[in-house]
A and B are shown apart, each in its own frame.
Chain A
Amino acid sequence: MDASMPHRLELIGITKRFPGVLANDNVSFSVKPGEIHALLGENGAGKSTLVKMIYGIMQPDAGEIVWDGQRTVVANPKAARALGIGMVFQHFSLFEALTVLENIALGMDAKIPARELEARIRAVMTQYGLLLDPHRTVATLSVGERQRIEIVRALLLDPKLLIMDEPTSVLTPQEVEQLFDVLRKLAAGGCSILYISHKLHEIKALCDTATILRGGKLVDTCDPKAETSRSMAEKMIGAGLKDIVRAPGRTMGLPKLVVSRLSTKKSGHFDVPVDSVSFVVKAGEIFGIAGVAGNGQNALLDALSGEILGEDKDAITIDGFPLGLLDTTGRRRHGLCAVPEERNGHAAVGDFTLSDNSILTARNRLGMVVLGLINSGAAKTYTGKVITDFAVKALGPSSTAGSLSGGNLQKYIMGREILQRPTVLVVSQPTWGVDAGAAAAIHQALVDLAAEGSAIVVISQDLDELLALCDTLAVINAGQLSDAQKVGEISVEEIGLLMGGVHGTSEARDAIPA
């Protein structure tokens, strides 16, 4: 990296205004060839807007994009790809009903015969160790596998700049290392990488430069290796970062949630059922379930929440009361609340207002429905409280859920469940795509809820989160749950082995047929 080299990409005074909000305010920075450049910021800081303009999805209101020393207008994503800009989205732009091959073909501008494309895909997959069967339908793939499609799709274009939006949130530590190897190889070959993430230690490990945005403004460009995670996080949120505060001398109470030999049936051909899962969560305990995406987490959550109806009333008990045969409403009445992984469409209805979304899960516990009539005042008040307590960026209780950014919607959903003071709370991916400041707030709220005597189950693919948050940890693999271990008595390597070790079989399953 020679200082005299022209910049690969230079942004000069980029400004983008949306009705009521200045998403990017005079942002300028540059990326050198072969540089891995981090873009950091809270939700709503304007990172996504900025990269959308670089990728040609939006046009800046003011400012210039300079590409390889030339002033450029990136008219649309096609023009961006023609320049050599590739992007891996956080929300995958995949077509569920189509195959991997067809999905990749759609992202290619050049017309390549299917057979040649397949050969090139296999070559890229082998080169970077990204295993996938090109003829599988996307609907049958896990989140992690779907991300691989996006990465392969971007790599096939031989990009000169690769934009990655929160790429590691769904990967195991080993997979993250593999991805970093891929990215380092690419950078060594001269490809610049613009890496958006909120995982600061990853940025320290991977990136050469970090540009930090706050409220649409550039606050700092720094060398992440010379900074601490904490100092970067504080620049990002513009205030001191709070640690998780645990009450001293905390003791756990009696077993609250007892799950014994909980199994589900296989329903779809991609569905991984849970197989005779047993665990105990005590009052005040936070119980973590680690595992790679697609190992039965969804089935486990649905079986616990009541979305999949059980057949054995004693498979799930709270304080000895059997819940196994109850549906979601019944379980919520008895104090078991759940937050599924998918925010929009599963945990919340996008076209409904936040207030109506509150009624959907909190109606019985908080008396929002009286004699079949909705008490909308109570729902509004409660939603307002969630918005205030969890610092949800929304206009108010009558904003639609779909209008919130992913992180803000997650804060709302977590708040909606936590403020119901459930006896048992089961959450999946509580902070996926949520920035450091908000994640810390969600973690603190979970710890506080546990301190009040609730039992909490956290299903997450983010190991750091589980290690920071949980008292006890178990690993789910192929629908089976490992023995629970105390956090602090188990090493990351051991967990990684449990997550991936038994996974020797899954490597074979994913392997490309010769």
Chain B
Amino acid sequence: MEMLIPIIVTLVGAATPILIAALGELVAEKSGVLNLGVEGMMLVGAIAGFVAQFYTGNPYLALLCGAFAGAAVSLIFAFLTLSLSANQTATGLALTIFGTGLSALAGAPYSAKPIALMQPLFPDMLARDPFWRVFFGYSFPVYFSFIMVAAIWWFLKRTRSGLILRAVGENDHSAHSIGYSVTGVRYAAVVFGGAMAGIAGACFPLLLTPQWAESMTAGRGWIAVALVVFASWRPLRLLAGAYLFGLVMTMELYAKAGGGVLAVIPSELWAALPYLATIVVLVLISIRRDASTNAPACLGKPFMPTN
């Protein structure tokens, strides 16, 4: 038991940023846009969040700054791919490189300067309780991620706007001919994805390591992208997937720290597991071949109205 609770707490910490970033990417992909720049947007969000926390000490403002920074960077992507019809894959990769470089530049003056971690949302009585901290010991972003799973599921499944978003991702030309603004919907979805990635990035200095380090998101943005496919574009599966990936990452940490049985498998292999799992799932999905794979039919295809 005393082993289990720290593991769960670590797991939640590892899973939350991935989940938030993946939810944003899911919405963008549902509208038909493949944004591979999640890692870059997360890093920009991370440095923005770090700087805001460093100067104001207000973690909510820091999250907000992260969201704005992520959204701003995603607008570059949106302009290039949606307005100028640039290739989404290439632009997404470029965005990651750009975000990595920009955050390193902006973060250079702040290395080795600590900030305060975000405090738990609930009062100490619950949050510091040896048992109840499993449920109440986390700060706002953890609960936010859960709310967003439900909210995005509801939005996509139950609201008219969500239906339009799915329609745009499914058949852009039909959506256009009915009279929906394909580009407008996709801009909104990409910017939402950027904001979520920014929040996810800001979680790193605010929740995990209270200082700035270059490339501190350590590839989690890529895991978020993989997770969307792994979850076959379903928010609830995304939740399960994020925690499964989070668990594997926690195992990796314990393995690195020489955690007994876990060390039997080298930590590098643990680190590779999420990607291997994604490949396995992709293979399984393509074997099944029916429509239930749920991939948006227009994913990654630029939209150019014919008239």
Interface residues in chain A, defined as those with a beta carbon under 8 Å from any beta carbon in chain B:
52, 56-58, 76-78, 81, 89, 92-98, 102, 105-107, 111, 137, 139-140, 268-269
A residues within 8 A CB of B167? 95, 98, 102, 106
The interface residues of chain B lying within 8 Å CB-to-CB of A94 are 171, 174
Say how far B271's CB is from chain A's closest CB, in angstroms: 35
Cβ–Cβ < 8 Å partners of A107 in chain B: 178
Bitwise, B3-22 to A at CB < 8 A (1) or not (0) is 00000000000000000000
How many angstroms between the C-alpha atoms of A81 and B166 in the bound complex? 22
Docked complex Cα distance between A268 and B293 (Å): 14
Query: Is B179's CB within 8 Å of the partner chain A?
Result: yes
Contact B297 A111 (CB under 8 A): no
Chain B nearest CB from A449 CB (Å) reads 35
Q: Is B188 an interface residue (CB 8 A)?
A: no
Question: A139 and B160: CB pair below 8 A?
Answer: no
Closest chain-A Cβ to B44's Cβ sits at a distance in Å of 33
Known A76-B179, A96-B291; judge A105-B163 contact (CB<8 A).
yes
- State whether A95 touches B171 (Cβ < 8 A): yes
Q: Which residues of B contact A77 (CB under 8 A)?
A: 177-179
Tell me which residues across on chain B come within 8 A of A76, comparing CB atoms.
179
Query: Which residues of B (95-144) have their CB < 8 Å from a CB of A?
Result: none
Closest 4 pairs between A and B when the two form their complex, measured CB to CB:
A93-B174, A77-B179, A78-B179, A95-B170
| B163, B177, B179, B297, most chain A CB atoms within 10 A | B179
Main secondary structure of the interface of A (DSSP, over half): loop
User: Is there an interface contact between A98 and B291, defined as CB atoms closer than 8 Å?
Assistant: no
Given known A93-B177, A96-B171, contact A268–B307 (CB-CB < 8 A): no
CB atoms of B178 and A106 under 8 A apart? yes
B58 CB contacts on chain A under 8 angstroms:
none
Residues of A within 8 A of B163 (CB): 98, 102, 105-106
Residues in A neighbouring B294, C-beta threshold 8 A: 97
Q: Is B290 an interface residue (CB 8 A)?
A: yes
**What mask results when residues 159 to 175 of chain B are scored 1 for a CB within 8 Å of chain A, else 0?**
01001101100110111
Q: Which of B152-206 contact A (CB under 8 A)?
A: 160, 163-164, 166-167, 170-171, 173-175, 177-180
> Among the listed A78, A89, A98, which residue makes an inter-chain contact with B170, where contact means beta carbons less than 8 Å apart?
A98
Contact A89 B177, beta carbon cutoff 8 Å: yes
A105 to B158, CA, bound (A): 12
* CB of A37, distance to nearest CB on chain B (Å): 22
A-B CB contacts (within 8 Å), total count: 57
By size class, the interface of chain B is: 20 to 34
A1 to B175, CA, bound (A): 37
State in angstroms the CA–CA spacing of A272 and B171 once bound together. Answer: 25
What are 10 pairs between A and B in contact, CB < 8 Å? A76-B179, A93-B174, A94-B171, A94-B174, A96-B171, A98-B170, A106-B163, A106-B175, A140-B291, A269-B290
Say how far A403's CB is from chain B's closest CB, in angstroms.
Answer: 10
Question: Does the CB pair B160–A111 fall under 8 Å?
Answer: yes
Q: Is there contact, CB below 8 Å, between B171 and A93? A: yes
- Closest CB in chain B relative to A140 CB, distance in Å: 8
Residue on B nearest A79 in the bound complex, by CB = B179
Tell whether A139 pairs with B291 under 8 Å between CB atoms, given A93-B171, A95-B167: yes
B173 to chain A: closest residue by CB: A93
Given known pairs A105-B160, A111-B160, the reply for A93 and B166 (CB within 8 Å) is: no
Instruction: Report the bound CA distance from A81 to B179 in whole Å.
Output: 10
Which B residues contact A (CB, under 8 angstroms)?
160, 163-164, 166-167, 170-171, 173-175, 177-180, 290-291, 294, 296-297, 307
Asked whether A96 and B170 contact (CB < 8 A) given A58-B307, A77-B177, A78-B179, the answer is yes
Q: Complex formed: what's the CA distance from A414 to B297 in Å? A: 29
Write out the residue numbers on chain B whose beta carbons fall within 8 Å of the beta carbon of A268.
290
Chain A residues near B178 (CB-CB < 8 A): 77, 93, 106-107
Closest residue on chain B to residue A93 by CB atoms:
B174
Contacts of A102 in B (CB 8 A): 163, 167
Option from A58, A81, A89, A96 in Cβ contact (under 8 Å) with B297? A96
Task: Tell me, in angstroms, the Cα distance from A111 to B177 when the chains sit together.
Answer: 19
With contacts A97-B294, A269-B290 taken as known, whether A106 is within 8 angstroms of B177 at the C-beta atoms is no
Q: Are A97 and B307 in contact (CB under 8 A)?
A: no
A146 CB to nearest chain B CB (Å): 12
- Interchain CA distance A125-B174 in the complex, whole Å: 23
User: CA A89 – CA B178 in complex, angstroms?
Assistant: 11
With a cutoff of 8 Å between Cβ atoms, the chain B residues found around residue A111 in the complex are: 160
CB–CB B297/A106 < 8 A = no
CA gap between A108 and B163 in the complex, in Å: 12
Verify B291–A137 contact, CB threshold 8 A.
Answer: yes
Measured between beta carbons, the chain B residues less than 8 angstroms from A58 are: 307
Given the known A-B contacts A52-B307, A93-B173, A93-B178, are A106 and B164 also in contact in the complex, defined by CB atoms under 8 Å? yes
User: Within the assembled complex, what's the spacing in Å between the Cα atoms of A137 and B166?
Assistant: 14
Check if B177 sits within 8 Å of A95, measured CB to CB.
no
Rounded to whole Å, the gap between the CB of B164 and the closest CB of chain A is 7
CB distance from A151 to the nearest CB of B (A): 15
Q: Give every chain B residue within 8 A of A78 (Cβ-Cβ).
A: 179
Contacts of B296 in A (CB 8 A): 97
Q: Is the CB of B171 within 8 A of A57?
A: no
Closest to B293 in A: A97
- Contacts A92-B174, A139-B291, A268-B290 supplied; 16 other A-B pairs, CB < 8 Å: A77-B179, A89-B177, A93-B177, A95-B170, A95-B174, A96-B171, A97-B291, A97-B296, A98-B163, A98-B170, A102-B167, A105-B160, A105-B163, A106-B167, A137-B291, A140-B291
Q: In whole angstroms, what is the CA distance A57 to B297 when docked?
A: 23
Residues of chain A within 8 A of B291, CB atoms compared: 96-97, 137, 139-140
Shortest distance between the CB of B24 and any CB in chain A (Å):
21
Residues of A within 8 A of B307 (CB): 52, 57-58
Contact flag A97-B170 (CB < 8 Å), given A52-B307, A106-B163: yes
- Complex formed: what's the CA distance from A57 to B166 in Å? 22
Q: Which residues of B contact A93 (CB under 8 A)?
A: 171, 173-174, 177-178
**What CA separation (Å) do A92 and B296 show in the bound complex?**
18
Q: How far is the CB of B119 from chain A (nearest CB, A)?
A: 42
A97 to B160, CA, bound (A): 16
User: Once bound together, how far apart are the Cα atoms of A107 and B294, in whole Å?
Assistant: 22
Asked whether A57 lies within 8 Å of B177 as measured between CB atoms, the reply is yes
Expressed in whole angstroms, the minimum distance between the Cβ of A350 and any Cβ of chain B is 12
Query: How long is the Cα–Cα vector from A81 to B173 in the complex, in angstroms?
Result: 18
Shortest beta-carbon distance from A424 to chain B in Å: 31
Give complex CA distance A76, B294 in Å: 31
CB distance from A150 to the nearest CB of B (A): 11
Q: Which residues of A contact B175 (CB under 8 A)?
A: 95, 106
Instruction: Report Cα–Cα, A111/B296, bound state, in Å.
Output: 24
A78: nearest chain-B partner, CB-CB: B179
By a CB distance below 8 angstroms, the chain B residues around A57 are: 177, 307
Q: Which of A76, A92, A95, A137 has the most CB of B within 10 A?
A: A95
**Which A-chain residue is minimally distant from B177 (CB atoms)?**
A93
Residues of A within 8 A of B180 (CB): 106
CA–CA, A292 and B300, complex, Å: 36
Q: How far, in whole Å, are A102 and B174 apart by their CA atoms in the complex? A: 13
